[in-house]
Chains A and B, each alone.
Chain A
């Protein structure tokens, strides 16, 4: 047998290499597949309908409209220290759109292995391609909405200027966190289907424990102590600072969530390495 020196399951051409670096290389080899899946997702989502990509915008727009009407018009909520009638809507958008991005990545990664069970069972390909595809697909959707939002800021003369650059590293930290968490949940969800149920409940609480709809100043002192433990809070607050106050984020508050994001990704890598092999047997 030629080059038959290897022990344990070894495959020359296909199959998952066990090391992280090997996985990255395999992923790179399957980049065409990942891109294909993302573009297919996009087209399947928008091409079949008459209004196409419009629907990607209508949904969050409707949500923002409802919250604006209810909170700023019906309940007469005003952002403190702001005379701008649009301020609350901008505040809402800054938090809601980025939160939506976080949740979409989290939920799609959590569901991706079950959704693609048939493919996983029948074809050998780098499994890490699936969460990466889910991540990218969600990113495409977010880019559309965020692009429109920036256009809106420009048109209404509320362009934040240079602080907008800060959004990029902030989103990076947030999405690394989402990807890591989503991967852990996605893998464990294959073994315990309760995970998907639990995450739905948890996200409800998480949303309302993050100052997205309301300003932090509107909640009592004790609730603020609770919110201080929310890792997403400094991120969301930074987006709001950039968009509403045109100010740079408070960087020193962000170390913790950055460290957490890295920790979660490392944990995700460990979980994935240990369980991805056994995953197929449970699908």
Chain B
């Protein structure tokens, strides 16, 4: 039988309860009271894997990889959507699971095989092969507690892969063991692949994904954000990591040193609070080229102020203005505000900036520029970084989305027009 996987609109929702009795109340009310926080570990995931394909699943911790695997292996059920799998599934999720230290390697191998649904006689016929692959010699009849970690893992891998499945799910299993063993495992997985086994490979290791897989899926915050050749997906993934790492560093520095900024003005109106957030509304200090960003600010008034203007300005590392705008130009505020009034603003921007370090300045004034009534000028209030995204490499401080059309003129040789999108 051939192993195929089809996943349509898959979603998994976990319920979080503040206290144990919240669930009790829900149960007693027969579902009329809802007292939980729904957390979607996976949502709207659609993909299919054909027989014999090797697909890498990558993503940061908490992106939903494990949840996806649990659904595919059948240990947990999806909250919505459909999964259709043909063929026998074997999962290398946790090697040596259920091994009992007081029993011999042979007894444990038997047990692990039974847990996989193999019959005793089937395991019996596979046993010589298991012993051979595990390379533990006479230790096979010694209790597992006398094994080194490597021996136990080798035995576990040998059992788990003793019978070639139609679909093999590998989850970080290869990160244990020494280099020799890892190579041996990869060889076995490759031989399975050659024999027609469909492989789903979950890893943080880009090289392993590139070696084994012809296609990669990238999960981010429970959604499938990329599905394509491993090279492209991994580039995107690296940008994601770089972004998150840079963001963390800048925020940490902010927390440690405070914002070193200059501030001037009459403060009749002042910026009470300002933050830079990503497209999902999380605080962020690093973005990929072309990412959405939100500048969210609150402005409070100390005296009566008529038609204030709130402006933002992005400057590069050396202080050149890169982009600035204000409410006067975008959407004028015409009301009059009394003392203790407050307004909240959200500048929704697409950061088509070049790679580099930038600062954000925010100001409150009247009319088109801060030359009239400078209430509050908060210079370089936030620093942030732009890292390369999935776009082709470019230089300069601005990203201009580019499409390229190349056509060979003159003699026709083979291929026709090519088009490359950016």
Contact = CB atoms under 8 A, between A and B. Distances in A.
Interface of A: 1-4, 6-16, 29-30, 32-33, 36-37, 40, 43-44, 47-48, 118-125, 191-194, 277-278, 280-281
Contacts of A120: 75
B317 interface: no
A44 to B, nearest CB: 6
A119 B100 CA distance: 13
B118 to A, nearest CB: 8
B75 A2 contact: no
B35 to A, nearest CB: 14
Which of A15, A29, A123 has the most chain B CB atoms inside 10 A of its CB?
Answer: A123
Q: Which 4 A-B pairs have the closest CB atoms?
A: A15-B74, A124-B74, A33-B114, A13-B88
A280 B76 CA distance: 6
Interface in B104-142: 107, 110-111, 114-117, 119-120
B169 to A, nearest CB: 11
25 contacts: A1-B4, A1-B84, A2-B2, A4-B86, A7-B82, A11-B83, A12-B1, A12-B86, A12-B88, A33-B111, A33-B115, A33-B117, A40-B100, A44-B100, A119-B97, A119-B98, A119-B115, A122-B94, A123-B75, A123-B98, A123-B115, A123-B116, A124-B74, A191-B23, A277-B76
A273 to B, nearest CB: 12
A168 to B, nearest CB: 29
Contacts of B86: 1-4, 12
Contact of A192 (B23, B84, B89): B23
A47 B115 CA distance: 23
A210 B120 CA distance: 44
A40 B6 contact: no
B88 A8 contact: no
Given A40-B111, A281-B14, A13 B89 contact: yes
B20 A11 contact: no
Query: Which of under 10, 10 to 19, 20 to 34, or 35 or more describes the interface residues of B?
Result: 35 or more
Contacts of A1: 4, 6, 48, 84, 86
Contacts of A47: 102
Interface string B1-45: 110101000000011000010011000000000000000000000
A155 B55 CA distance: 69
A124 B78 CA distance: 14
Given A1-B4, A277-B77, A281-B14, A10 B83 contact: yes
A32 B4 contact: no
A281 B84 contact: no
Nearest to B94: A122
B226 interface: no
Given A6-B84, A121-B75, 19 more contacts: A1-B6, A9-B83, A10-B83, A11-B83, A11-B89, A12-B86, A14-B73, A33-B115, A37-B111, A122-B91, A122-B93, A123-B73, A123-B91, A124-B74, A125-B115, A192-B23, A193-B20, A194-B20, A280-B70
Nearest to A119: B98
Contacts of B23: 191-192
Contacts of A191: 23
Contacts of A192: 20, 23-24
A270 to B, nearest CB: 14
A189 to B, nearest CB: 12
Contacts of A9: 71, 77-78, 82-83
A43 B111 CA distance: 14
B315 to A, nearest CB: 49
